[in-house]
Chain A
Amino acid sequence: GENVEQHPSTLSVQEGDSAVIKCTYSDSASNYFPWYKQELGKRPQLIIDIRSNVGEKKDQRIAVTLNKTAKHFSLHITETQPEDSAVYFCAASKSSGGYNKLIFGAGTRLAVHP
């Protein structure tokens, strides 16, 4: 089955700096790669996703890149702010008709210091 590795497990940056989180996946048939943000004590929420037919997607300060050949994808956050502090999870799945059995990475705890 699918296995997703995520690095780093913790990341500390100064406000305004960029943050990059990287994930690798094992199943070459996976075609959907979302990122979820989980604030302390809250539920995980989708922040951005990418499908295997594109290599990059941007939404304001966040972007995701996908390298299908190498089977890795990354989350980039620019101009970080204290409210970006949270745990970020990458995931991979073989999306079929909207049904997504997501396999998650172990998470990255991001701390943005003012």
Chain B
Amino acid sequence: GAGVSQSPSNKVTEKGKDVELRCDPISGHTALYWYRQSLGQGLEFLIYFQGNSAPDKSGLPSDRFSAERTGGSVSTLTIQRTQQEDSAVYLCASSSPRGVNTGELFFGEGSRLTVL
């Protein structure tokens, strides 16, 4: 696609429920990143993928958070047993290791998660 696509754009859930957030990166981008942005805060690194493997998962807040990427394309971020402190905007970005814009992260619009 033309840009990074994320779904859902908004998700309201009850505490204790599981949620899945989806990211469809720019075609051909081998690197994919997940960040979390709490209200009025900065961008907190969660995890990144090179192809289907995740060399760095150090930012995942707890074992309730997991992510996978299949076919070197779409990625899913799963949050189990959601808590109110998980409420935030989850941003996905992708980048290409080649070309004029080497290394530039292209962000999606984000998925706003609200845990009641």
Contact = CB atoms under 8 A, between A and B. Distances in A.
Interface of A: 1, 6, 32, 34, 36, 42-46, 49, 89, 91, 95, 97-107
A101 B96 CA distance: 13
B105 to A, nearest CB: 6
B90 interface: no
Contacts of A43: 91, 107-110
Contact of A46 (B48, B58, B104, B109): B104
Contacts, number: 61
A100 B103 contact: yes
Interface residues of B, number: 25
- Taking each of B43, B45, B102, B108, which has the highest tally of chain A beta carbons within 10 Å of its own beta carbon? B43
A49 B104 contact: yes
Given A44-B91, A98-B95, A102-B105, 14 more contacts: A32-B103, A43-B107, A43-B108, A44-B43, A49-B103, A49-B104, A98-B31, A98-B97, A100-B95, A100-B103, A101-B56, A102-B45, A103-B45, A104-B35
Contacts of B45: 101-104
A98 B91 contact: no
B1 interface: no
B42 A101 contact: no
Contacts of A105: 42
